[in-house]
Amino acid sequence: MDDRRTFLRFLAASPLYAGLPWAAAALAQAPDSEPLVTRAQDALDVFDLEKVAHKTIPVAHWGYLMTGVDGEETLKANREAYAHWQLRTRRLVDLSKLDMGTELFGVRYASPIFLCPLGSQKAFQAEGELASARAAKARNTLQILSSATSTGVEDVVAAHGGPLWYQLYTSSDLNVAMKIVARAERAGCTAVAVTVDLPAGRNTETLSRAMRADTRQCAACHGDAGPGALSARPMYQGIDTKGLLNTSPALTWDFIKRLRDATRMKVLVKGLESGEDAALAVKYGCDGVMVSNHGGRATETARGTLESLPEVVAAVKGRIPVLVDGGVRRGTDALKALALGATAVGIGRPYIWGLGAFGQAGVERTLDVLNNELRLAMGGVGARTVKEITPAALIRRA
């Protein structure tokens, strides 16, 4: 019995296990024999928060959070890409003034790690986006608010206190999209990130299975007037929400050009993975690009985002910031992305694990854990600033 426990503990601590937290496995996972942490500050890594959130979040919502698409190969690739690199250490560098500060569009943040846009956060915890915003404020962290927010942009801006970025699904009616952009700008958002990686819908198989396992009356919330319905959300009252949270299938670079002309906000495209598209983003006047595959929730059997990052960085040639997200679960992951040319690194599911587990304190703990790990990794490769994290910090695993 003791042997078995020791072995399970060894497995749980092994990078192989940590590298496999994808949805199907997480749903099927047997309850851990270790007790769950009961306070946010006791979480040693983001997986401690994941375990608590798995218990607190209703099964269908957990499925929505964890799902990839089809057989979840892209979801897996996001994690695996990080395991292909090892850190190349440097010693005897004076680290007494190690600084993780990162500037984006003239605003200085405490670290290059930011909160990705994730929809419907009240499905994970009662305060939803407001708790995430307060945590982001407390940790001087960039937050990008999802189009699918369960809270109005004005309230989230107020809770964050600093400039927020807004993520846009263009919807099948581009005029509606423009109205929403104008509202986000009026509320004080300083950038809009247009998500372009879902042009044709998707097959979220794990979510469908989880919905079957949920015995609650979903219609009570997801019916027309329920809090799960878009039309009932503060962001969309008075707007015809049909097709609102989709990318228009007719979307082309022309819309980016129109948007560029219609707003004073910075414009980014979220969901690029190729050098050709990155070059077009620069050509059409984008202020930044986000290398993302929607956390493995868009195109199936695509590359991990870390694998796509170098060709985007090469095409952009330093002209605009390149942000990346997908599968970041450790500070060392963030360091690897920065070494391969990212300006900043986004996290999605990990901060929602913190939110679901402990609300604002959980999101703060997620940020503290990852920032601390990044700080240690920077020390390991002798980087005193984010700018000093270069490709020399990495070596490809043999």
Ligand X SMILES: Cc1cc2nc3c(=O)[nH]c(=O)nc-3n(C[C@H](O)[C@H](O)[C@H](O)COP(=O)(O)O)c2cc1C
Q: Which residues are known to be catalytic?
A: 294
> Is residue 77 part of the contact set for ligand X (CB under 6 A)?
no
Contact residues for 226 (Cβ-Cβ < 8 A; gap 6+) = 219, 220, 232
CB of 103 to ligand X, least distance (A): 22
CB atoms within 10 A of CB 217: 9
Q: Among residues 63, 128, 152, 326, which is the contact residue for ligand X, using CB under 6 A?
A: 326
Contact residues for 58 (Cβ-Cβ < 8 A; gap 6+) = 214, 216
Distance CA(47)–CA(5), nearest Å, equals: 19
Q: 195: part of which helix (H) or strand (E)?
A: strand 191-195
Amino acid making up residue 268: L
> Is residue 78 part of the contact set for ligand X (CB under 6 A)?
yes
Q: Among residues 22, 47, 62, 64, which is the contact residue for ligand X, using CB under 6 A?
A: 64
> Is residue 63 part of the contact set for ligand X (CB under 6 A)?
no
Q: Which of 325, 267, 307 is nearest to 115 (CA)?
A: 325
CB 394 within 8 A of CB 339: yes
Q: Interface mask (CB under 6 A) for ligand X, residues 210-249, using x and -?
A: ----------------------------------------
CB of 270 to ligand X, least distance (A): 5
The region of 115-123, 126-134, 228-236, 384-392 touching ligand X under the rule CB under 6 A is 115-123
Report the residue number, 119 or 380, with the smaller CB distance to ligand X: 119
Burial category of 228 from C-beta neighbours within 10 Å (exposed 0-12, middle 13-18, buried 19 and up) = middle
Distance CA(341)–CA(88), nearest Å, equals: 16
> Is residue 102 part of the contact set for ligand X (CB under 6 A)?
no
Distance CA(342)–CA(328), nearest Å, equals: 13
> Is residue 347 part of the contact set for ligand X (CB under 6 A)?
yes
> Is residue 170 part of the contact set for ligand X (CB under 6 A)?
no
The interface with ligand X within residues 253-272 (CB under 6 A) comprises: 270
> Is residue 119 part of the contact set for ligand X (CB under 6 A)?
yes
> Is residue 148 part of the contact set for ligand X (CB under 6 A)?
yes
> Is residue 167 part of the contact set for ligand X (CB under 6 A)?
yes
> Is residue 362 part of the contact set for ligand X (CB under 6 A)?
no
What 301-305 contacts at long range (C-beta under 8 Å, 24+ apart), as own/partner pairs, is 301/70, 301/73, 301/74, 301/77, 302/74, 302/77, 302/273, 303/74, 303/77, 303/81, 303/273, 304/74, 304/77, 304/78, 304/79, 304/80, 304/81, 304/82, 305/78, 305/81, 305/273
The region of 15-23, 25-33, 182-190, 288-296 touching ligand X under the rule CB under 6 A is 288-296
CB of 384 to ligand X, least distance (A): 27
The CA-to-CA distance between both ends of the chain, in Å, stands at: 37
Distance CA(391)–CA(378), nearest Å, equals: 13
Report the residue number, 327 or 359, with the smaller CB distance to ligand X: 327
Q: Among residues 294, 303, 330, 365, which is the contact residue for ligand X, using CB under 6 A?
A: 294
Distance CA(234)–CA(178), nearest Å, equals: 17
Contact residues for 6 (Cβ-Cβ < 8 A; gap 6+) = none
The region of 131-139, 178-186, 293-301, 379-387 touching ligand X under the rule CB under 6 A is 293-301
Q: Among residues 349, 362, 365, 382, which is the contact residue for ligand X, using CB under 6 A?
A: 349
Q: Among residues 102, 132, 143, 146, which is the contact residue for ligand X, using CB under 6 A?
A: 146
The region of 6-14, 226-234, 289-297, 364-372 touching ligand X under the rule CB under 6 A is 289-297
> Is residue 348 part of the contact set for ligand X (CB under 6 A)?
yes
> Is residue 325 part of the contact set for ligand X (CB under 6 A)?
yes
Q: For ligand X, how many residues bind (rule: CB under 6 A)?
A: 24
CB of 398 to ligand X, least distance (A): 26
Cα dihedral 174, 269, 258, 191, rounded to 10, equals 100
Mapping DSSP onto H, E and C, the string for 256-317 reads: HHHHHHHCCCEEEEEEECCHHHHHHHHHCCCCEEEECCCCCCCCCCCCCHHHHHHHHHHHHC
The region of 80-88, 249-257, 344-352, 379-387 touching ligand X under the rule CB under 6 A is 344-352
What number of residues does the chain have? 398
Report the residue number, 245 or 382, with the smaller CB distance to ligand X: 245
CB of 217 to ligand X, least distance (A): 22
Q: Site residues (CB under 6 A) for ligand X?
A: 64-65, 78, 116-119, 146-148, 167, 195, 270, 292, 294-295, 297, 325-328, 347-349
